[in-house]
Structure 1
Amino acid sequence: MTDSALTRRTLLLGGLGVASVATLAACSGASGTTGGRMPSRTFGAPVPVSPSPGQKTVTATLTAKPATLDLGGRTVSTWAYGDTAPGPVVRATAGDFLRLTLDNQLPADTTVHWHGIRLRNAADGVPGMTQDPVKPGTRFVYEFTAPDPGTYFFHPHVGVQLDRGLYAPLVIQDPDEPGGYDAEWIVVLDDWVDGTGTTPDDVLKKLIADGGPASSGGMGGMGGMGGMDHGSMGGMGGMSMGSPPWGDAGDVTYPFFLINGKPPTDPDVLTAKPGQKVRLRVINAASDTIFTLALGGHRMTITHTDGHAVQPTEVDAFYIGMGERYDAVVTLADGVFPLVARPFGKTSGGQAMALIRTGPGAAPTAGVNPAELSGQVLIGSQLQPAASARLPDRKPDATARLDLQGSMKPYQWGINGAPFGSNEPLTVKAGQRLRITATNMTMMTHPLHLHGHTFALPSGLRKDTVLMAPMESLSIDLDADNAGDWMIHCHNIYHAEAGMMIALNYVA
């Protein structure tokens, strides 16, 4: 691949200092990779479980296989669930028992992680932590109850496989949902590089190679940070609608940005009638890109984030980080309108766009610039929770610290001073309320994702993935009500694979 396939940027070190970078370097893999290795554990076949009497069972088979896709006239080879990206949606109702079979027809090990679901630990899909990797030519059956309604998705938890076509929506319906809308559309956002002359594995190798060896020259300490691209700093106090202090927002330059697997030159077309109210279930399945989403000629009302209800909030547009999901309702006008997902902080590759058609009219061009993108743009962490989504008031029984750290040169990322596999797991006892103080000590934005649980922000907002701005510190509370060994990590897949993960282990 060429140098143009990567974002050209100077050192991004933020708050780590020479000593911590040396620690990350010392903990890196001997082969020259940046760590992020799973502990060496074996699990054998999963223990089968059965639905409770009267519990509905939802079954499906997911075939992970090589696939060829058409991206607006350009043919790319990739891996996908079936023959499409996104893969087929899986639907169930809260309380259902899911029995989902992964048929691995890839030339590599893989798994499936059910992103955002508070499921039993054995079904979480993390190789070396909850299961053995699924070998080529074999099957693995995931069995779990989906307790919470909401918009979710699933993807592998092996290497950078997410940055291929291996992702699909998972919608858990609310049996008590009052409805009030005429149609429901799933909107999946993605950044795409696979099959365009390179692969995600090649991208990661080049990021590591371009980062070079660990060196203290020019790094400075917390006060100096010489040679850094500071981006736009600031903390929570500096946040305002439309002006996030996010600095650099990604490492990779993508040739395509997609909505529902289609580029803006060959957009997905969603049809309805004028005056109809539509529920949008928006999923950011991208690996390295924060998007700003807007619907030309309309304002949207945000109703849920990461599956949890919020106080309805009307906006022109909203930011959505990797791994986040937002539900919104909109009443449609008459005509043809662009649904635009603009990559934040990226100047190459254009944007993603779908069309909403309720009547006659010419389609906008691929580079259309809706006025709403310059209007009131919501930062999701500013939403207020619905009363039904709040955690019960309770003082924390235990506390933990989680520091996000790393650099571009060398390309090394970690948590609490070391990459995953070398850092000490966080621990909690069953039944405790745990307060984690998470601090982003870098000059990049990181979407922090917790497996098997949801957490509450200080406002009470419930999420499982939250964007953390450069130098931002945030307290998150979780109830330890789902025993097992779980992952906490950055949902920039390249940062995670380079070591920005840590375990959360239940202890006696």
Structure 2
Amino acid sequence: MSEMPNRRAVLGAGIALAGGAAALTTRAADAAPLPLPTPGPSRSPAAPAVAADTYVAPDGPEVMAREAERGAGPLRKVSLTATASRFELGDGVTVPTWSYGDRLPGETVRVTAGDTLELTLANHLAQSTSLHWHGLSLRNDMDGVPGLTQRPIEPGAEFTYRFAVTQPGTYWFHPHSGVQLDRGLYAPLIVDDPKEPLAYDKEWVVVLDDWLDGVDGSTPDAVLDELTHGAGSSHDPAGHGAPAPAKGTGEAPSRLLTGAESDLLGGHAGDVDYPHYLVNGRTAGAPSVFEARPGDRVRLRVINAGGDTAFRLALGGHRMTVTHSDGFPVTHTETDALLLGMGERYDVLVTAGDGVFPLTALAEGKGASALAVLRTGTGALPAATVRPKELDGRVLTADRLTADASVALTAREPDRTVPVTLTGSMAAYDWAFDRKPYDPAVRMPVRAGERVRLTFANRTAMWHPLHLHGHTFALARPGGGAPGARKDTAVILPGRSLTVDLDADNPGLWMLHCHNLYHAEAGMMTVLGYLR
């Protein structure tokens, strides 16, 4: 999810480095900071084009004032290295990839709400990279989007992210540079609640992923090239990466997906044919095992870190009680199964039975699944292809959830309504908002303090998980009623509309994009920009 400089030639300019804690160091002299790009016309029909200095800068005084309001709690320091690596996924599958340290997923970063997190990322990759904190409301210059909120972290350099963490919940982090997320560069971020209201005995962090990197010579860059008919040969923000191998050379098989259909997703399920699906870095034939005791109350924190796959998740022999969506509490709701789009997270509670139980993540519409195991007693591991009956029971989606009263948005008419149309097709692979591929100089303007309503109309034949940085929004309920769940990522089905409300309470320049990684790289990204 980068700025894609070569494909659209819109990012000749970068941005000035954020000062203070956002220190970037390299082994060579840094280039002089460059100005923000000049914006083009607003997407809001009521707003005229405005000059670049009319927008709040990522490190501007408005951003610093908002960060000061969050306070400075106990400091939690973490060091992280992005590096080339090699992992055994199970079933005899060993792949070269990139990762955070020597783990897949990367080691969980854990803080308490109220802490200040200081994480230094050392880049040992051959390409520049970045780190985005998915779901957090944080200071804008720490959001990790090269060409918008920071300059790329060059090979051999390091960058220190430092910011206050205020909202408890289940989050994760990953690069926002090209298609790097579809390698092994992701890890959970758990923010504990110092006044935790839930009672449970054990916690199980569950990370779902679709995997192709290093399998038969495949790479995410080569897949993007195949999808875009060769138009996406270089996606490294600084241009350090070598072009992806061309198709038809025998270096890797085709990864185009055909015939994948799902009623839950409104038709076509995805674009990419992944050879493996993982839970916590393991294939279904060699699953990770979580141990508990019969009767234990277990909290599952589930993250969909996939690039192109929705997962339908169920725990055999159990019903799940959903307690949180995207980090925010909801009215507790029982279900047999969950549907998670890319980037979505759910927290659920289960009371463990006695035995060995499959946690199956069905790759929705793709005819395959991932597996992990809950063990509380004796018994053999379930077969890799096990399909618990709960997968065919009640499947919960976010639109059925109600926000907990503690986090529900107060009723208020919007000060600004911004219509956004999703456009594009699989054939042309020209995904965009309003038929305009991503240009970081084009912003949807808002003002601090406004209640903003975003109305999305999906004019494509594909479903899209939409993600907004730095904010959560409330899903609007048709006809009113109880306030919808607070989310930062929401699925919009083909031919449907989606209305969300948010409070503009975090100044800066914030990405809004499809969290299908390949749709985003094809152009389905834009910027929500605060006016001064």
TM-score bin (small chain): 0.7 to 0.9
* Counterpart position of 1:92: 111
Distance in 2 of aligned mates of 1:172 and 1:161: 25
Which of 180, 184, 207 does residue 165 from structure 1 map onto? 184
Q: Secondary structure at the match of 1:487?
A: strand
Which of 129, 145, 150 does residue 131 from structure 1 map onto? 150
Q: Please provide the CA RMSD for this pair.
A: 2.2
Check the 8 A contact 1:39/1:129 in 2, yes or no: no
Distance in 1 of aligned mates of 2:361 and 2:12: 37
Check the 8 A contact 1:264/1:353 in 2, yes or no: yes
Check the 8 A contact 1:155/1:162 in 2, yes or no: yes
* Counterpart position of 2:526: 502
Q: How does 1:227-242 map to 2 (within 5 A)?
A: none
* Counterpart position of 1:372: 390
Distance in 2 of aligned mates of 1:405 and 1:155: 26
What amino acid is the match of 2:135? G
In structure 2, runs of 5+ residues without a counterpart are 23-66, 233-257, 478-482
Which of 140, 146, 152 does residue 165 from structure 2 map onto? 146
Q: How does 1:387-406 map to 2 (within 5 A)?
A: 387-406=405-424
* Counterpart position of 1:322: 342
Distance in 2 of aligned mates of 1:249 and 1:80: 27
User: Which of 377-386 and 118-127 deviates more?
Assistant: 377-386
* Counterpart position of 1:298: 318
Higher RCO (CA < 8 A, seq sep 6+) = 1
What amino acid is the match of 1:278? V
What amino acid is the match of 1:88? E
The Cα of 1:497 is off from its aligned counterpart by 0.6
Matched, 1:466 2:439: no
Q: Which whole-Å deviations, capped at 9, do the CAs of 1:268-305 have from their partners, x for residues lacking one?
A: 00000001000000000001000000000110000000
Matched, 1:70 2:43: no
Check the 8 A contact 1:38/1:420 in 2, yes or no: no
TM-score (norm 1): 0.85
Distance in 1 of aligned mates of 2:12 and 2:143: 16
* Counterpart position of 1:43: 16
* Counterpart position of 2:133: 114
Check the 8 A contact 1:36/1:498 in 2, yes or no: no
When the two structures are aligned, how many residues end up with a matched partner?
452
Distance in 2 of aligned mates of 1:144 and 1:42: 19
User: Which of 462-471 and 376-385 deviates more?
Assistant: 376-385
Matched, 1:434 2:457: no
- Structure 2 CA distance for partners of 1:183 and 1:501, relative to 1, 3 Å: same
Distance in 2 of aligned mates of 1:36 and 1:416: 19
Distance in 2 of aligned mates of 1:96 and 1:185: 23
Which of 271, 294, 298 does residue 274 from structure 1 map onto? 294
Which of 509, 513, 520 does residue 485 from structure 1 map onto? 509
Check the 8 A contact 2:72/2:164 in 1, yes or no: no
User: Which of 39-48 and 399-408 deviates more?
Assistant: 39-48
Q: Secondary structure at the match of 2:228?
A: helix
Check the 8 A contact 2:4/2:178 in 1, yes or no: no
The Cα of 1:310 is off from its aligned counterpart by 0.6
Q: Secondary structure at the match of 2:194?
A: coil
* Counterpart position of 2:379: 361
TM-score (norm 2): 0.82
The Cα of 1:100 is off from its aligned counterpart by 0.5
- Structure 2 CA distance for partners of 1:193 and 1:394, relative to 1, 3 Å: same
Check the 8 A contact 2:72/2:114 in 1, yes or no: no
Check the 8 A contact 1:96/1:145 in 2, yes or no: yes
Q: Secondary structure at the match of 2:520?
A: helix
The Cα of 1:55 is off from its aligned counterpart by 1.7
User: Which of 372-381 and 134-143 deviates more?
Assistant: 372-381
Matched, 1:456 2:474: yes
- Structure 2 CA distance for partners of 1:54 and 1:130, relative to 1, 3 Å: closer
Q: Which whole-Å deviations, capped at 9, do the CAs of 1:156-184 have from their partners, x for residues lacking one?
A: 00000000000000000111113310001
Distance in 2 of aligned mates of 1:385 and 1:418: 34
Distance in 1 of aligned mates of 2:292 and 2:526: 45
The Cα of 1:423 is off from its aligned counterpart by 8.0
Q: Secondary structure at the match of 2:452?
A: strand
In structure 1, runs of 5+ residues without a counterpart are 1-27, 213-227, 233-242
Distance in 1 of aligned mates of 2:394 and 2:402: 16
Matched, 1:205 2:225: yes
